Amino acid sequence: MALIAGLALFLHLFPGRLLQLVDFRWGLIVSQALFIAGPALLASRLFYLDRRAIFPLARPSLAMLAGTVAGTMSLNHLLTVAGTWQERIFPVPRFYREALQDLLRYRGAGDFLWLLLVFAVVPAICEEILFRGFLQAGLVRAFQRPATGIVCTAAIFALFHLLPQLYPGTLALGLFVGWLAQSSRSLLPAMLAHALNNALSIAFDNAPEAVQLDLTGSPALAAFAIAVFVASVALLRRATPARNRVL
């Protein structure tokens, strides 16, 4: 597992970055497919692993889907508020923030859909194959404790994003999607949550500054998001078979 995770990180950072310098969006798609999901899929074939156990794609229930959507939307808002507060104390480097804002700008509806594919859909599929699929399945089996496997996988997932300022938010997201994958015994809810979280962040970054301030500066909205998240966790827990429950 350490070999595959290290290989994925190396390939994504070096040949992947070179591809992104040529054309960032296409380079990111190729890098995600070949260098993030690729090593995990190749390892499962070379080592004759049970793909149905490592990459489960069982169809989740409607209650699981509803809880996933509501939980992701509320968690994304809370992480956005926390990120705004963190920026005052431990800001992301200016060059990184400006470069990211430039990459997330879109021109028209077609470009917005292309942006969602590149930054939301493809990373959600490829990263969940590696992290909640290959790594989490292996770590849960190695530790014989689902909670330990989820936490360790989320920590590695956060480290892959490199910037320490991004660690708290990606760790929280990793814990949530890891719990979804373990509870549902399927990568589909985790992929949905990951993609939705990224899509909401893209929409927020493209919103006018006044709208951003209204959204992140409202205590009532934050309290509502907390209530929705708690209710979503309760719904997800009820939708989880007793044998799969982590919480």
Tell whether the model's pLDDT for residue 210 goes beyond 80: yes
User: What confidence tier does 108 reach under pLDDT thresholds 50, 70, 90?
Assistant: confident
Using only the alpha carbons of the chain, give its radius of gyration: 18
Average pLDDT estimate for 62-90 = 95
- Average of pLDDT values for 42-66? 92
pLDDT more than 70, % of the chain: 100
pLDDT of residue 106: 87
Tokens of 218: 């409202």
pLDDT of residue 156: 96
Of all residues in the chain, what percent are helix, strand and coil, respectively (each to 5)?
Answer: 85, 0, 15
Cα–chain center distance at 166: 12
pLDDT digits (tens, 9 = 90+) for 121-138: 999 999 999 999 999 999
Q: What is the pLDDT of residues 151-180, one digit of tens each?
A: 999 999 999 988 899 999 999 999 999 999
Q: According to the model, what pLDDT value does residue 233 have?
A: 96
Report pLDDT digits (tens) over 221-234: 999 999 999 999 99
Residue 65, C-beta contacts closer than 8 angstroms, at least 6 positions apart: 189, 192
The token pair at 196 is 């939705």
Contact criterion met (CB below 8 Å) for 150 and 178: yes
Contact 80/216 with Cβ under 8 angstroms?
Answer: yes
Q: Among candidates 30, 52, 192, 31, which has minimal Cα distance to 125?
A: 192
Instruction: Report the pLDDT averaged over residues 232-245.
Output: 88
**CB-CB contact of 85 with 226 (8 Å):** no
Q: Kindly list the domain boundaries of the chain, sorted by start residue.
A: 62-244
- In the predicted structure, residue 242 carries a pLDDT above the cut 80: no
Q: Of 247, 127, 146, give the one whose Cα is nearest residue 194.
A: 127
Confidence check: pLDDT of 47 > 90: no
Measured distance CA(153)–CA(93) in Å, rounded = 26
Q: What is the pTM of this model?
A: 0.95
Sign of CA dihedral 123, 128, 131, 134: negative
Q: Which H, E and C letters describe 40-64, residue by residue? A: HHHHHHHCCCCHHHHCCECCCCHHH
pLDDT at 244 over 80: no
Say how far apart CA 212 and CA 80 lie, in whole Å. Answer: 10
Q: Supply the DSSP symbol for 104.
A: T
User: For residue 149, is pLDDT > 90?
Assistant: yes
